[in-house]
Amino acid sequence: MVDTNKLTIEYLGRKDYQMYQIKDGFRFGTDAVLLAWFTASHLKSNRKYKALELGSNTGACSLLLSARRPDVDIDAIEIDEDAYEVCNMNIKLNKLEGKMRAFRADVRDLSADIPKAKYDVVFMNPPFFSKDNGPRVSEEKAMRLKGRFEENGVLTDFIEAGASRLIPSHGIMCVIMAASRTAELIALMEKNKVKIMNIMPVHPFVDRKAEMVLICGKRTDTKPQMSLLQPLILNEKMEDSKICQTKRIIDIYEEEHHDCFI
């Protein structure tokens, strides 16, 4: 059982949703918000979807997607026992028992732990760094960032698992990844018959190179038209040298969902 004294509670800013997080564990950030928004932006209106998140941690991205699109039923997969337990707590906290389920499972062996279902949508925020190529951090910070490193499956495992659960011909996959691994991600998606539809680079400032990339692909044998979407700029420097979020990012965080990339 997770010690509730080691949890914090956060407001997600949508539909009064809240979530518990582990004080000393991996905590959600901008990448989870962007992935939920990007995934929702590839779903048609007025239809139901069945979605799968691989590596959900305590459930932030799945909760945010559910808040944007209540017509999506979500299965969330997480290997860490404490994070899985907190994810279940968050489902109950937001009264989503009929819309969201958590499974403790390993992406490298999904068939052993969850029903052999196929999904309209698979979305994921896989570890950004391999053990050898990630940033050097202190032992204390490493605990907070362990979700950033490939300790329980490499990028290949995540993409193969996700592709295997997509409905052939129309299932879509949405991924956020470190920009430095864009070529690797595209190659893995294409290898697993997930054809690239949209690519969106994410820049910290307008004059800096991209640090993240959002990619959507479709599970199909045909070749859809690929689009390079307008870059997403996270921050801007004001005249007084103060750094603020761009209006686009503020809208993504705060406004009702209206974007559509399909």
pLDDT at 221: 82
Contact 77, 105 (CB under 8 A): yes
Residue 131: per-residue pLDDT: 59
Alpha helices in 102-261 (DSSP H): 139-144, 155-165, 182-191, 247-254
pLDDT at residue number 148: 52
Closest CA to 43 of 155, 174, 181: 174
Strands (E), 55-179: 72-78, 100-104, 121-124, 172-178
Number of H helices, E strands in the chain: 7, 13
Buried b (16+ CB within 10 A) or exposed e, 216-255: bbbbbeeeeeeeeeeebbbeeeeeeeeeeebeebeebbee
Cα 140 from Cα 243, distance rounded (Å): 28
What's the burial of 47, exposed, middle or buried (CB within 10 Å: 0-12/13-18/19+)?
Answer: exposed
Nearest in space to 84 (alpha carbons), one of 67, 68, 62, 108: 62
CA distance 135 to 256: 36
pLDDT tens, N- to C-terminus, the chain (262 residues): 777 788 999 999 888 899 999 988 888 899 999 999 999 999 998 889 999 999 999 999 999 999 999 999 999 999 999 999 999 999 999 999 999 999 999 999 887 667 678 999 999 999 966 755 544 444 554 444 554 555 667 999 999 999 999 999 889 999 999 999 999 999 999 999 999 999 999 999 999 999 999 999 999 888 778 999 999 999 999 888 899 999 999 999 999 888 998 8
Residues 150 and 132: their CA atoms lie apart, in Å, by 10
